[in-house]
Amino acid sequence: MSTRAPGRESGPAPAFAAVRLRLGLVAALVVVAGVGWWWTARQMRGMDEGPWTGLGTLGWFLVIWVVMMAAMMFPSVAPTVALYSRMTKRRSALLPALFAGGYLVTWAAAGLAAFALAAVLDRVGGDALAWDGAGRWVAGATLLVAAAYELTPLKEVCLGKCRSPLGFLLGAWRDGHWGALRMGARHGAWCVGCCWALMASLFALGVMSITWMAVVAGLIAVEKTLPWRRVATYGTTAVLLVLGVLLLAAPDAIPALTVPGSGPMGEMEQMGS
């Protein structure tokens, strides 16, 4: 199996067709992301219970998670998919689609790992993550750890692969349909390495909250696309640090945060207990 990136065709007609294909791919990914946001918002309406919201059944969560990842990640990964399309010899949308599919497969695996960890904690710890137990402190600590991870060498390396994918594509090139899927999965692994702490922060703020989903997606997009890399990284670090401190000291001061037990349903439950 060849591992060398093929050369590009020459001539105005093939070049125009290639540009049109790449623009179409980017547009398609943005449309898929938009549909994902719409569908996720409908499915998660009324389900936000704040930090450590229950994940439901495995099948339901996995579907929600994959659609959520498409909504959150496709806009920022679209340039990489377009670059991959430019480097392929075949002018077809199938290979880039498989590349994007491989990317989602890796994020689906990350979602399975998160679900398994939540199941283990629920079985072993019981109500340990309840808000009136250790849940608030664990959530705040998660945000502080995520802020610290932003400044680590591993984050720097993974973010570099996401921001400048040309080196990755040249070094990991595989031909064919299976090769496209494998390359997408490998690129997704770099993305997981880059964004796992931000996704953990989403769980700590409310994984079923469309507002916090949008905030985390915005931070990811800023880090991957803003020309000023250091500004993006330090800005994300500052946001996570402030949220972590507020969650520990004054959670009611965080806009859009659902504090468990603070709403009408929580008050009714406390009166009935």
Q: Give tens-digit pLDDT for 92-148.
A: 788 999 999 999 999 999 999 999 999 988 888 767 778 888 889 999 999 999 999
pLDDT at residue 266 is higher than 50: no
Q: Where residue 270 falls among pLDDT bands split at 50, 70, 90?
A: very low
What average pLDDT is seen over the chain? 87
> What's the rounded Cα separation, in Å, for the pair 6 and 161?
21
Distance between alpha carbon 174 and the CA centroid of its chain, in Å? 25
* pLDDT score of 273: 39
Domain segments of the chain as ranges? 12-261
Closest of 79, 75, 72, 77 to residue 102, by C-alpha: 77
Provide mean pLDDT across the span 47-54.
90
Q: Where residue 257 falls among pLDDT bands split at 50, 70, 90?
A: very high
* pLDDT score of 16: 57
Give the Å distances, CA to CA, from 168 to 41, 84, 157, 163, 252: 34, 10, 12, 10, 43
Q: Where residue 269 falls among pLDDT bands split at 50, 70, 90?
A: very low
Top-confidence range, 8-12, 204-208, 227-231, 268-272: 204-208
* pLDDT score of 6: 54
Give the Å distances, CA to CA, from 124 to 40, 118, 121: 30, 10, 5
Please give the single-letter amino acid code of residue 273: S
**Under 8 Å between Cβ of 103 and 191:** yes
> What's the rounded Cα separation, in Å, for the pair 270 and 10?
71
Provide mean pLDDT across the span 237-263.
90
* pLDDT score of 272: 41
pLDDT at residue 264 is higher than 50: no
Name the one residue in this structure whose structure tokens are 């496209």.
180
pLDDT tens digits for range 228-242: 889 999 999 999 999
Name the one residue in this structure whose structure tokens are 């664990």.
138
Name the one residue in this structure whose structure tokens are 């409908």.
42
